[in-house]
C-alpha cells in the first residue's frame, strides 16, 4: 500500500512541478516575444513595469481579466465559451509525454522528470497536438462571424496538410531509433554530438520544423488569424480572458513544439559526450532539466526570430508547399532513410553516423536538381499568381 | 514566344524580371537565411528609442515653444499693449486689453500704455512665431521650453503673470 501512496505523491509532485514550470515559462514568453520583437526592430521593447519590464506579464494578465467579456449576439454560447479552453487544454496536454529531464534516484526510489513515459509517446504527440485545432474551428464557427469561420476553416485545412508531412518526417525518425517512447529516443541520442537526430535526419528535421510552424499557427503560417485579410481570424469576436486563453494556448503550443523538436532532433536533455550516470542524483536531474530548457528555448527564440523576419504565405502557396513539396520530400526521406539503414548494415557499419548526414544531403540535393531540370520552367508570374500558366 | 526567349536573356539578378526563377529562388531557403541574418543583425544593434522622461532630446535654441514676455534692463515690461501680435496671430490665440498706466505704477512700464489683460491660449497657438516677428517692442519671444501639460483647457490659457519673466535684462540675439 505505501508503495502506491508514495507513487501517487511522487507523480503528483512531478506533474504539478512540470505544469508550473511550463506555464511559468509560457507566461514569461509573452513578455519575451515582445522584447525580441522590439530588439529586432531597433526598439527596447517593454521596459516600464518593474526591472527590464518583467512585470509586463502581470500587467498583461490583469488587463485581460479587467477587459469587457463580450459574447456576440447570435453566437453559440456554449461552444463560444468552451473553444478557448479546449485549445488551451489540447495544447497543454502535450507536455505529459515530453521528457523534461533524466530520472533522479532519491532514497532508492527512481523518479522520472517526465509526467508519463508512454511507449507510444510520439503517436500521442501527433494525436493530441492536432486536437487544439478543434477549439479553433469551434471558436470560429460559434462566433457567427464569416471572418472567424474562414479562420477556423483555414486552420483545419492547414492542420490536415501539415500533419501528414510531420508524420512522414517522424516515420523516418522512428525507423532509425526503433521506439515510439520519447525517453528511449532521447537515450538513443546520448553520446557524441553527431548522435543527435538532426545530423542523421537533416531532411526530416527540416520537414518537421516547418510543419511545427504550421501546426502552431505561427508566422509564416498564421493564416487562421491573418490580420490584414480576416480582421483577427478565429479570435475576431473574442475578448478579455477568452482571447487570452487562445493566445496562451498558442504560446503553450509553440513552446511545447520547441521542446519536442529539442527532444526528437537535438538530444533532449542529454549533454553531448556526457553519458547519463547509473545512479543520477538530484544535481544531475536539475542539470538535465536546465539543458532541456536551454535547447527548447533556443527553438522558441527561432520561432520568434522567424516571426519577425518572414512575411505570411498566401493560401495557395501554403497548400502548394504542404502538398506538392513537403509531402513528396517526406516520402523520399523515408525511402532514403530506409535505404541508407540497409546499406550501412550491409557494409557492416553498425552506427548510423555522420556519413548518413552527407549522404542524405547529397541525395536530396540531387533529387531536387533533377526534378527542377525535368519540371516545366516556372516563371515569376506563375510563382506569384499560383497556378496560371504564362 | 519570341518575346519569351528575349526576356530569358535578361539579367538574372533583376528581382523584377519576368521569367525563369532560379533553383535557389524556388527553394526559398537562401532568401530566408538572408532575411534571418538581417533581423539578427538588428537584434544586436544599438537601440534608437529615446527613453523620454529620463532622457530628453536636445532642441535648438530657436525651437518655438512656450512664450515669454520680456522685461528690459530696468525691469520694466516691454509690452506696451499695441496689439500687433494679436493682429498677427493666425490662430487668434492672443487676447489683449490695453489700458493707461496708473501714475503710481509708471516706473514699471516703458510708456503710459500697457496690456491690462494679456491672455495666450496655448491650445489655440500653433507656435508659428508670427507674434515674435510682429512685436515692435521685442517683448514677446518663443522659448525652447515645450513641457507644459495640464489636465484641463482652462489651465492652458496663460495669463500675463504667467508669461512675463520675473527679472529683466538686455535681449541677446543668439544667431
Over the stretch A257-316, which tens digit does the pLDDT of each residue have? 899 999 988 888 888 888 777 777 788 888 888 989 999 999 999 989 998 888 888 888
Helix (H) or strand (E) holding B35, with range, is helix B29-43
pLDDT of residue A388: 45
Over the stretch B28-80, which tens digit does the pLDDT of each residue have? 788 888 889 989 988 888 888 888 888 888 888 888 988 989 888 888 888 89
pLDDT at A381 over 80: no
**The dihedral formed by the CA atoms of A266, A267, A270 and A271, expressed in degrees to the nearest 10:** -40
Does A165 lie at the interface with B, CB-CB under 8 angstroms? no
Is residue A134 in a domain? yes
Does B17 lie at the interface with A, CB-CB under 8 angstroms? yes
> Where do the H-state alpha helices sit in chain A?
2-40, 56-66, 77-93, 121-129, 132-142, 146-177, 182-188, 197-200, 202-216, 227-230, 240-265, 282-307, 315-319, 327-346, 354-374, 380-385
Query: Rounded to whole angstroms, how far apart are CA atoms B31 and A310?
Result: 10
User: What is the predicted ipTM?
Assistant: 0.72
State the residue range of the domain holding A217: 2-314
Over the stretch B135-155, which tens digit does the pLDDT of each residue have? 988 889 898 888 888 899 988
- Residues sharing a CB contact under 8 Å with residue B104, sequence separation 6 or more, in sequence order: none
Query: Rounded to whole angstroms, how far apart are CA atoms A46 and A244?
Result: 18
pLDDT of residue A387: 45
pLDDT of residue A249: 86
Is residue A292 in a domain? yes
pLDDT at B5 over 60: no
Q: Which residues of B touch A378 (CB under 8 A)?
A: 20-21, 26
Domains of chain B: 2-43 (no CATH), 67-163 (3.30.70.3270)
Mean pLDDT score, A370-374? 74
Is residue A218 in a domain? yes
Q: Which residues of A touch B44 (CB under 8 A)?
A: 39
Contact A220, B35 (CB under 8 A): no
Is residue A212 in a domain? yes
Interchain pair A381, B18: CB under 8 A: yes
Residue in chain A lying closest to B39 (CA): A40
Is omega for the bond preceding A220 within 30 degrees of 0, making it cis?
Answer: yes
Chain A nearest-CA distance from B28, in A, is: 11
Residue in chain B lying closest to A40 (CA): B43
Is residue A137 in a domain? yes
Chain B nearest-CA distance from A38, in A, is: 8
pLDDT of residue B14: 65
- Residue B2's pLDDT band, with cuts at 50, 70 and 90, is very low
Highest mean pLDDT among A1-10, A167-176, B85-94, B164-173: B85-94
Is residue A349 in a domain? no
Q: Which residues of B touch A383 (CB under 8 A)?
A: 21, 26
Over the stretch A222-272, which tens digit does the pLDDT of each residue have? 888 877 788 877 888 888 888 888 888 888 888 998 999 999 888 888 888
Q: Which residues of B touch A38 (CB under 8 A)?
A: 47
Mean pLDDT of chain A: 83
pLDDT at A359 over 80: no
pLDDT at A351 over 80: no
A vs B: CB pairs below 8 A:
61
Does B52 lie at the interface with A, CB-CB under 8 angstroms? no
Residue A376: count of CB within 10 angstroms of its CB: 7
Q: Which of A379, A384, A390 to mutate to test the interface with B (most CBs of B within 10 A)?
A: A379
Mean pLDDT of chain B: 83
Helix (H) or strand (E) holding B133, with range, is helix B130-134
Does A282 lie at the interface with B, CB-CB under 8 angstroms? no
A234: its cell numbers: 478565429
Q: Which residues of B touch A381 (CB under 8 A)?
A: 18-19
Interchain pair B23, A310: CB under 8 A: no
Domains: count for chain A? 1
Q: Which residues of B touch A44 (CB under 8 A)?
A: 47, 49, 51
Beta-bridge partners for B77: B71, B109
Q: Which of A205, A243, A199 is nearest to A358 (CA)?
A: A199
Query: Rounded to whole angstroms, how far apart are CA atoms A272 and A307?
Result: 29
Chain B nearest-CA distance from A167, in A, is: 22
Does A48 lie at the interface with B, CB-CB under 8 angstroms? no
Interchain pair B19, A377: CB under 8 A: yes
Contact A341, A352 (CB under 8 A): yes
Over the stretch A162-201, which tens digit does the pLDDT of each residue have? 888 998 989 988 888 888 888 888 888 887 877 788 888 8
Comparing CB atoms, the residue among B17, B18, B39 nearest residue A40 is B39
Read out DSSP for A23-59? Answer: HHHHHHHHHHHHHHHHHHTTS--S-SSSGGGTTHHHH
Of the ranges A131-140, A210-219, A364-373, which one carries the lowest mean pLDDT score? A364-373
Mean pLDDT score, A22-28? 88
A108's torsion region: left (phi>0), alpha (psi -120 to 50) or beta? left
Does A368 lie at the interface with B, CB-CB under 8 angstroms? yes
For the entire predicted model, the pTM comes to: 0.79
Is residue A216 in a domain? yes
Of the ranges A134-138, A185-189, B19-23, which one carries the lowest mean pLDDT score? B19-23
Is residue A319 in a domain? no
Amino acid at each position: 500500500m505505501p508503495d502506491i501512496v508514495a507513487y501517487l505523491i511522487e507523480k503528483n509532485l512531478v506533474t504539478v512541478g512540470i505544469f508550473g514550470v511550463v506555464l511559468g515559462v509560457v507566461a514569461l514568453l509573452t513578455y519575451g516575444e515582445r522584447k525580441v520583437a522590439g530588439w529586432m526592430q531597433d526598439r527596447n521593447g517593454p521596459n516600464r513595469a518593474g526591472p527590464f519590464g518583467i512585470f509586463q506579464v502581470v500587467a498583461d494578465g490583469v488587463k485581460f481579466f479587467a477587459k469587457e467579456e463580450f459574447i456576440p449576439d447570435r453566437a453559440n454560447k456554449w461552444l463560444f465559451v468552451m473553444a478557448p479552453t479546449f485549445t488551451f487544454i489540447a495544447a497543454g496536454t502535450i507536455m505529459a509525454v515530453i521528457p523534461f529531464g533524466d530520472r533522479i534516484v532519491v532514497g532508492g526510489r527512481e523518479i522520472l522528470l517526465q509526467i508519463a513515459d508512454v511507449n507510444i509517446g510520439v503517436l500521442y504527440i501527433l494525436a493530441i497536438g492536432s486536437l487544439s485545432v478543434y477549439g479553433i474551428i469551434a471558436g470560429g464557427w460559434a462566433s457567427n462571424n464569416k471572418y472567424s469561420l474562414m479562420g477556423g476553416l483555414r486552420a483545419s485545412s492547414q492542420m490536415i496538410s501539415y500533419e501528414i508531412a510531420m508524420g512522414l518526417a517522424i516515420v523516418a525518425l522512428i525507423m532509425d531509433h526503433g521506439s515510439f517512447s520519447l525517453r528511449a529516443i532521447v537515450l538513443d541520442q546520448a553520446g557524441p554530438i553527431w548522435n543527435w537526430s538532426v545530423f542523421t535526419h537533416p531532411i526530416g528535421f527540416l520537414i518537421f520544423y516547418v510543419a511545427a510552424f504550421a501546426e502552431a499557427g505561427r508566422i509564416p503560417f498564421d493564416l487562421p488569424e491573418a490580420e490584414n485579410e480576416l480582421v483577427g481570424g478565429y479570435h475576431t469576436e473574442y475578448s478579455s480572458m477568452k482571447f487570452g486563453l487562445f493566445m496562451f494556448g498558442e504560446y503553450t503550443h509553440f513552446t511545447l513544439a520547441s521542446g519536442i523538436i529539442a527532444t526528437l532532433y537535438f538530444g533532449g536533455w542529454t549533454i553531448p559526450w556526457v553519458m547519463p550516470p547509473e545512479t543520477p542524483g538530484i544535481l544531475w536531474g536539475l542539470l538535465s532539466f536546465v539543458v532541456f530548457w536551454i535547447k527548447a528555448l533556443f527553438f522558441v527564440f527561432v520561432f520568434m526570430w522567424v516571426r519577425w523576419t518572414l512575411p505570411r504565405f498566401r493560401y495557395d502557396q501554403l497548400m502548394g508547399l504542404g502538398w506538392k513539396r513537403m509531402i513528396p520530400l517526406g516520402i523520399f526521406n523515408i525511402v532514403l532513410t530506409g535505404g541508407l539503414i540497409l546499406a550501412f548494415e550491409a557494409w557492416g557499419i553498425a552506427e548510423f553516423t555522420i556519413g548518413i548526414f552527407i549522404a542524405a544531403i547529397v541525395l536530396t540535393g540531387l533529387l531536387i536538381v533533377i526534378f527542377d531540370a525535368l519540371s516545366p520552367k516556372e516563371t515569376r508570374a506563375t510563382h506569384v499568381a499560383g497556378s496560371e500558366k504564362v | 514566344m519570341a518575346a519569351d526567349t528575349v526576356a530569358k536573356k535578361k539579367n538574372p539578378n533583376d528581382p523584377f524580371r519576368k521569367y525563369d526563377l532560379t533553383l535557389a529562388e524556388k527553394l526559398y531557403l537562401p532568401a530566408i537565411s538572408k532575411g534571418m541574418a538581417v533581423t539578427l543583425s538588428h537584434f544586436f544593434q544599438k537601440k534608437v528609442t529615446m527613453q523620454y522622461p529620463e532622457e530628453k532630446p536636445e532642441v535648438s535654441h530657436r525651437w518655438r515653444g512656450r512664450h515669454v514676455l520680456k522685461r528690459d534692463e530696468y525691469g520694466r515690461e516691454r509690452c506696451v499693449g499695441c496689439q500687433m501680435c494679436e493682429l498677427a496671430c493666425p490662430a487668434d490665440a492672443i487676447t489683449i486689453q490695453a489700458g493707461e498706466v496708473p501714475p503710481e505704477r509708471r516706473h514699471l512700464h516703458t510708456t503710459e500704455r500697457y496690456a491690462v489683460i494679456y491672455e495666450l491660449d496655448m491650445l489655440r497657438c500653433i507656435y508659428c512665431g508670427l507674434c515674435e516677428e510682429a512685436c515692435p517692442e521685442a517683448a514677446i519671444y518663443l522659448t525652447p521650453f515645450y513641457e507644459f501639460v495640464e489636465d484641463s483647457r482652462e489651465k492652458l490659457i496663460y495669463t500675463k503673470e504667467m508669461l512675463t519673466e520675473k527679472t529683466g535684462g538686455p535681449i541677446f540675439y543668439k544667431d
